[in-house]
Amino acid sequence: MKQIQNKNFRRQFSPDRQYLIAVSGGRDSVALLHWLIDCGYKKLIVCHLNHQLRSRASSADARFVEELAGKYHIGLAIESANVRAIAVKKKLSIETAGREARYKFFASVAKRTKCSSIFLAHHADDVVETFLINLFRGSGTTGLAAMREVSNRRLDGVDLTIVRPFLGMWRNEIDHFVRAHRLKFREDASNRNLAPLRNRIRHRVIPYLEKALGRNIRQAIWRAGVIASEEEAWIETQLPNSIDAELSPAKMRGLPIALQRRQILNWLRTQNISNVGFDVVENVRALLDHKSQVAKVNLPQDRHVRRRAKKIFIE
């Protein structure tokens, strides 16, 4: 909360300007909304995407958010998406499909309202859980980089500025705030999109680790994530600027291994291949070796990376 009262923050994100805020109806986003209002952010537009994952309960969440926006006399954008159908169609997990649908929705609201900054309620415990999930899944260092307090993302022709004022706050601090202000929220909404792995990490693994090790490991993990994200941000500035549709193995071989990995990851992202693990990056890196016998790497959704005629490309 201190962050929002912080002078630098208020200078960068003046309360007089208009902002979007993502509100699921769960505790964290309800707390963020209340806090921003309290701090004088009046021109907010509440964005709520009904994921249609729990039929009646999902509709009740949407109604709750609608009433909340009415109570605060602020703008509202509500939409529905059949996240389960998207997940099946795009062969994605429910969690990933939900996230993609939300960002698409945010971008469309941003375009319509000409308001490109959006507040999200991610907090410090989210950082810790995401770090562990990515560590255990094997995402490599890039996966260990924490979300940033302020980041930019280009989506459907819109440059979204994503702002997470709670990123340094712990869940129990938010709890305390919610109780102190007797805020009402939808109990299920915050856990609606919780993947089984995140659920287990939050409710079983982290409590176990803190007990077994007799120390507050969350602070330490949070820091590791923040450091990794600052190193990532800096490494990104050191990468060759333009990314072509094809990779040149000859040029890539001239980079240090650490940069080859980042560059491959960035290249895959610009080709709309995201959510790939360390394995895929290493397999693509192996293609750089002209002596390598392998000339094909499998990607999700039946796509492939191929090497042919001294070029690496996707088909």
Q: How far is the CB of 168 from its own copies (least distance, A)?
A: 13
**Tokens 């930019």 belong to residue:** 152
Q: What is the largest CA-CA distance in the chain?
A: 67
Residue from 37, 259, 273, 299 binding its own copies (CB under 8 A): 259
Q: Pattern of binders to its own copies over 132-171, x per CB under 8 A?
A: ---xxxxxxx--x---------------------------
Q: Fill in the DSSP letter of residue 201.
A: I
Q: According to the binding rule CB under 8 A, does residue 254 interact with its own copies?
A: no
- Which one of 17, 40, 59, 220 is in contact with its own copies (CB under 8 A)? 220
Confirm if 51 and 57 have CB atoms less than 8 A apart. Answer: no
For 8-43, the DSSP string reads HHHHHS-TTS-EEEE--SSHHHHHHHHHHHHTT---
Do the Cβ atoms of 263 and 239 come closer than 8 Å? yes
CB of 249 to its own copies, least distance (A): 19
Among the listed residues 157, 53, 41, the one whose alpha carbon sits nearest the alpha carbon of residue 110: 157
Return the number of the residue (116 or 134) whose C-beta is nearest its own copies: 134
Q: Report in angstroms how near the CB of residue 93 gets to its own copies at its nearest.
A: 15
CB of 234 to its own copies, least distance (A): 4
Report the 10 Å Cβ neighbour count for 73: 9
Give the interface with its own copies as residue ranges (CB under 8 A): 135-141, 144, 197, 200, 204-205, 208-209, 212-213, 215, 217, 219-221, 223-224, 227-228, 230-231, 233-235, 237-238, 256-259, 261, 278
